[in-house]
Amino acid sequence: MVRGLLEGKALPATVTLSEQALSGSYRTVGVALEEYQKVAASVNDERVAEVRVAQPLAEADRVRLEQALSRQYDREVHLNVVVDPTLLGGMRVAIGDDVIDGTVVARLDHARRKLAG
């Protein structure tokens, strides 16, 4: 069914990956797409960073963050920005196993733990 919908409208690799994503090899289609994105990034010598923010990033901020992360990891970094209003403010950046959590929620939690003991 997927092949019938996408064939001739998408690249053959896209059709194949879509079929695999829907075949049940992954918990959800979203998880499958995240994995495929990592593979595509590694082929292009890039890294993928998930950036969670409370409000959408301005384009200039997005470019600065992308450049800073690219310098830090010595390769291009592609940003997947997820707007999550529950963060209140700040941002959380995850690249592979590295996590930089500068959210207001994380800072308040850290302060609470320091005060407790």
What does the pLDDT look like over 9-44, one tens digit per residue?
877 777 777 777 777 766 777 777 777 666 666 655
Task: Compute the distance between CA of residue 103 and CA of residue 30 in angstroms, rounded to an integer.
Answer: 24
| Strands of the 98-101 sheet, one edge to the other | 76-83, 46-53, 91-95, 98-101
CB neighbours (10 Å) of residue 10? 14
The DSSP H or E segment spanning 53 is strand 46-53
pLDDT bucket at 60, cuts 50 / 70 / 90: very high
Place of tokens 């995850």: 94
**Domain residues of the chain, as ranges?**
1-44, 46-117
Find, among 76, 39, 54, 42, the residue nearest to 65 by Cα. 76
Mean pLDDT confidence for 85-89 = 88
